[in-house]
Amino acid sequence: MNCIFCKIAAGEIPAQTVYQDDDLLAFRDIHPRAPLHLLIIPKRHIESMASLLPEDGPLMGRMMVLAQHLAAQNGSPDGFRTVVNTGRVGRQEVYHLHMHVLGGPEPLDSSAAF
Ligand code: DGP
């Protein structure tokens, strides 16, 4: 499958990984829009939020729980922003589900909005 995030999850393309376990991987966005800009992905290929099944709920929940820990550990202890772009209307560019985690020591400005 020609999916760039599957290749990152498989270690075929390098990324600045900040966390991984059996199911999830988190790495720094190649084009950061904030002092902290991470992407959390499921290692298993899921195209987008629009293709989630009811049984994927716990996995999505784990991504949200992980976001708070990674933000705090990586320089954004006082809050953060999560964004999940979905489909054409959501201007999703990479069709492997991912959660943007944006933050920094200071409040985000509007350029960090999507
Ligand atoms: P989205 O528009 O939500 O699909 O954003 C995709 C993000 O993925 C975008 O912010 C840039 C990032 N990205 C794309 N290719 C790579 C890559 O090869 N490595 C890393 N680290 N990030 C990537």
Q: Ligand 1 centroid vs 104 CA: distance in angstroms?
A: 19
Annotated catalytic residues are 98
Whether 103 is in a domain gets the answer no
Whether residue 111 lies inside any domain: the answer is no
Q: What band does 89 get if pLDDT is binned at 50, 70 and 90?
A: very high
Domain of residue 24: give its range: 4-95
Ligand 1 atom nearest the C-alpha of 27 is: 21
**Residue 93, token pair as written in the block:** 């560019």
Number of domains the chain is built from: 1
Residue 103 Cα, ligand 1 centroid: separation in angstroms? 16
**Ligand 1 atom at minimum distance from 83 CA:** 3
How far CA 54 is from CA of 46, 57, 60, 86, 107, in Å, comes to: 13, 6, 10, 17, 34
Within-domain flag for 67: yes
Q: How many helices (H) and strands (E) does the chain have?
A: 2, 5
- CATH number of the domain bearing residue 16: 3.30.428.10
pLDDT, tens digit, 9 for 90 and up, residues 22-40:
999 999 999 999 999 999 9
What pTM, to 2 d.p., does this model score?
A: 0.97
pLDDT bin (cut points 50, 70, 90) of residue 71 is very high
